[in-house]
Chains A and B, each alone.
Chain A
Amino acid sequence: AQKVTQAQTEISVVEKEDVTLDCVYETRDTTYYLFWYKQPPSGELVFLIRRNSFDEQNEISGRYSWNFQKSTSSFNFTITASQVVDSAVYFCALSESNFGNEKLTFGTGTRLTIIP
């Protein structure tokens, strides 16, 4: 069975600080996909990144970066120089690779508050 653990329930940092959100996953599949989504107060889930299990390269997109380590089954997300607009709930998710399986298994989310 698949499982995603986001141990940090809530994090608060002062604006401009860096912050890392942790994600640990469990799966028996050798091929799988990992995702991060952002849910602002409006409620809509916003896609941030998708990574497949064969691509362990870290990725950077502006102030966002992701560290994927298969050895520790982790897919952590770092925001550099945080801004108030980054305040939201962030979800890590996992899906199997089988064609026809679009099911996302989500973690419980991390509520990030950026203090101005």
Chain B
Amino acid sequence: KAGVTQTPRYLIKTRGQQVTLSCSPISGHRSVSWYQQTPGQGLQFLFEYFSETQRNKGNFPGRFSGRQFSNSRSEMNVSTLELGDSALYLCASSPQGSSGVNNEQFFGPGTRLTVL
């Protein structure tokens, strides 16, 4: 099976712009989560989508949003970019089923966003 793919891998934007990042999960995985990784704050949970619905959300401002499509692909959007949004954005997919078992999450290579 192909792994989690994220596009683009690298992105440079300026303050005030908006950006959309894309994530394609492993085939058959229905849960997609997004994480932000920065040197100062470490790995932080942004949100999680399952069957096109946001199930969980971390403590990030409303400028961070996402969505999931019927094929489980997900996009994350950040509006009005700030310098502090510079980070590695990681997407993870999981074969979440109905048993309630928390399966392992498989991560993509990330999108490195630089805000100038």
* Contact surface of A with B, Cβ cutoff 8 Å: 33, 35, 37, 42-47, 50, 52, 91, 95-109
Contact = CB atoms under 8 A, between A and B. Distances in A.
B106 A91 contact: no
A33 B110 contact: no
A79 to B, nearest CB: 19
Interface string B96-114: 1011111111111110100
Contacts of A100: 50, 55-56
Chain B contact residues: helix, strand, loop or mixed: strand
B109 A106 contact: no
B55 to A, nearest CB: 5
Interface of B: 31, 33, 35, 42-45, 48, 50, 55-56, 58, 88, 90, 92, 94, 96, 98-110, 112
A98 B99 CA distance: 10
A109 B42 contact: yes
A43 B4 CA distance: 13
Chain A contact residues: helix, strand, loop or mixed: loop
Given A44-B108, A46-B107, A103-B58, 11 more contacts: A43-B109, A45-B107, A47-B104, A47-B107, A97-B100, A101-B102, A102-B96, A103-B45, A103-B56, A104-B43, A109-B43
Contact of A104 (B105, B108, B109): B105
Contacts of B107: 37, 44-47
A33 B48 CA distance: 17
A43 B22 CA distance: 17
A102 B25 CA distance: 15
A97 B103 CA distance: 10
Nearest to B94: A102
A47 B100 contact: no
Contact of B110 (A44, A50, A96, A109): A44
Contacts of A106: 42-44
A44 B112 CA distance: 11
Contacts of B42: 106-109
